[in-house]
Structures are given as structure tokens and as C-alpha cells.
Structure 1
């Protein structure tokens, strides 16, 4: 646990030094920042078809004081997210940060402890910027071995408990067993599945918009 606290604190000083220089937002404007991988970057789709873009549309209807900024990058690992988050926090000054990362770590078989430390750094940076966090989890296929898949999935629960964040355990849960919901690579959801992902995320996110 000491490693998580240290890692979570590493990004905070650099953020504090630059907050005054961040671009001013319109009065009353609040921001949801999404830090994700290809699952949130609308890989293989038009940007407007992805669940994050659909979230923006829903916010404009139901919570018009809020906007969404999609800082997701296809192929992103937790290490990449940890290296980028301070800059994104400086630029956008979010009130809520959605962290949807880890799938690429798992697909590459990267050590689960390092994934946990990277995610902890991101959560710590967001909290240091006075933003609430929604941690969005992922699961790995069983071919990676039971020990790995259990440790990978357990990272999200452990971090949510340690840092008292909101948690959505598995982004793809509503479509995971529907082969027709995925593109030809069997990894990325099709456009028609994106509203289902948004409906899955929304109940975990909306309480943070108060």
C-alpha cells in the first residue's frame, strides 16, 4: 500500500505549479475528462459514434453545465496514461476524471503490480487536482492464466477501495458475450454497441455530476 500512496502523490506537485496558467472556462462550466484507450477513442468508428461522444450529447441534454473532453488514445497503456495525465489536468481542469485503462497492459501480459502503480498515480493526480474519479475496469481472457486474470481484475477493486473512488468493474459487461457487438478483430465494439456502453457507464458516472 505504501507504493500506491507514493505513486499517487508523484504527479501532484507538477500539477499544482501550473494550475494558475490553465485556460479559463466559461462561468459555471464543468468538465468530465475521459482518459482511456481505443475502447473510449472510438477505434474503427467515426468519433461521433463512440460512447464518449454519446456521453457528450447526453450531458448537453440532461446536465448542460457539463462538457466531456475525450483524451483517450488508441493503444494506450497505463504507463502512457500516467505520463500524460498531469498535462491533461492542466489543460482541462476537470471536475471528474474517468480512467478507462489497463486492457493493453493485459493484452501484453505486463506485470499487474506495475499496472496498479500506474493507475494509482493517475488517481492520485486527479485527486490532487480536486477531481473525483470513476475507475472503469477491464477483464482478461482465461488463456492468460487464472492467477494473472484474477490479479488483473482485482487491481480495480483494490484501487477503488484504497482511494475511495467510484468503480465500474467491467466496461464491456453488457456486450461481452455478443460476438455481433464486436468488429472483425473481436476486440473493439461496433457502432451499434456504443449506446449500450454508455448506458452501462451512466449509472456510475451520473452521481459524480452533483
Structure 2
């Protein structure tokens, strides 16, 4: 008795095609989940981890916090230089982005201006530099979390009135997220700072990361 194999062949072919479709989709999901988000922390000694042991600095602690709390794989790059001003940061922006392919990280945390204030640099110069850096990053389609700073009290109210709004003004201008004060919860607390009273100790950094971490996590999710 002759058996018509044509329907069986068509069914077998259809099953192979379906397997190929679902297999391709599965690989795509795995690739997406395996993509590592790159964050460049671009700043001064507060980013660099001045006076702290390995694992205690801002980028190390932020990396650990995100590893524990974020569903997405993350790489935090330390592009901090102790003593840097906004002018120094502006001059080395390309260098800071060099570790990332095409100079386009998923996020830049821009933390500069503290040394400008400590040195009493004209706030208009600081504003120009912060603006130029955010403008350059925006042109590259890079999201910038602008970390705000506050002027040292000894420089007086007039200086603070010009200096303090710089970061919000630039963030608003380029529609970038703002973290109002990088040292929130730590500044002026002797127990959370090193002996110089300016640089956070390991516990101080832990508090900083606990506050900024959820902001970074949300930006990566978006």
C-alpha cells in the first residue's frame, strides 16, 4: 500500500521553521540581557577615591551597589582626577571617555566644581565649563547625571548666589537629570569625613552611594 508522504514532509518543514524562529528570538533575549551598561564617573577627588583603600571609593562602592541592586549588568569606570577643576575636566573629557567604545557610555556622572569653589574661581568660568561638557555629551547622545555642588560658606553669600545654581541651570538647559548635591547627607559631618573635613571616609561614601544609587539605577532602566 502506497503512503502519501507529502503532508508529513510539509509538517516537518513547518516545525523546523518554527524552531528556527523561536530559537532566534531566544538568542536575542539572552544577548540583550547580557549587554553591559557602561557608566563613566567623571570628576575630581570625590570620584577618584582620594584617601581611601581599594574597594572604598565612590566608583567601587557604586559598582558593588549596582551589582547587588540592578538587574542589568553594569561597568562603572573611574575617570576621577584628584584636584581637578572644571577647566581641567573640560580639557580631558575625551580622555575620560576613551575607555568606552566610540566614546559613548550609557551614562556619565559629571561631578566637577568643588575645587573651583575651594579656589574661589570665578563662577562664570565654572558655569561655562560645565555647560561646554554637558553640551558635548549631549551632542554625542549621552545621558549626563549632573552632580551639583555648593560653594564653601567662607566665600560669602554673593559668591554662592552665582555658584550654587550653575548645575541646575545647565541640567535644565540640556534636559539632563540633576542630582542636586553630590555630598548630600555627608558634608559637614565629621564622623563621615576624613581628617581634612572635605573628603568622605568609607562610611561617608557608603551613604552617598545609598542615596545616588537608586537614581543611577532608574536612569539605566530608562
Q: Note whether the superposition's TM-score is higher than 0.5.
A: yes
2:89 maps to: 81
Aligned to 1:35: 42
* 8 Å Cα contact 2:114-2:149 kept in structure 1: yes
Superposed, 1:3-22 pairs within 5 Å as none
Aligned length: 184
1:49 to 46, 56, 60: 56
Alpha-carbon separation, structure 1, partners of 2:152 and 2:180: 15
SS in 1 for 2:146: strand
After superposition, what is the alpha-carbon deviation per residue over 1:59-118, rounded to whole angstroms, capped at 9, x for unaligned?
A: 223244221101001001111111111232243131100000000001111111110111
Tell me by how many angstroms 1:119 deviates.
0.7
- Shift in Å at residue 29 of structure 1? 2.2
Q: TM-score, normalised by structure 2?
A: 0.78
Residue 37 of structure 1 contacts residue 72 of structure 1 at CA under 8 Å; is this kept in 2? yes
* Structure 1 vs Structure 2 CA RMSD: 1.4
Displacement of 1:180 after TM fit? 1.4
Counterparts in 2 of 1:55 and 1:63: CA distance versus 1, 3 Å: farther
Q: Which runs of 5+ in 2 are unaligned?
A: 1-33
Aligned: 1:140 with 2:151: yes
Unaligned runs of 5+ in 1: 1-26
Cα distance in structure 1, aligned partners of 2:50 and 2:184: 18
User: For residue 10 of structure 1, what is the aligned residue in structure 2?
Assistant: none
Q: In structure 2, which of residues 165, 170, 177 is the aligned counterpart of residue 154 of structure 1?
A: 165
Q: Which has the higher contact order (CA 8 A, sep 6+)?
A: 1
Partner SS for 1:70: strand
| CA deviation vs aligned residue, 1:136-157 (integer Å, no higher than 9, x gap) | 0111222101110121111011
Deviations 1:25-55 (A, max 9, x none): xx72220000011111111111310122111
> Does the 8 Å contact 2:118/2:152 carry over to 1?
no
Judge conservation of contact 1:85–1:125 (CA < 8 Å) in 2.
Answer: no
In the TM superposition, structure 1's runs of 4+ consecutive aligned residues that sit over 4 Å from their partners are none
Q: Is the 8 A contact 2:66 2:213 kept in 1?
A: no
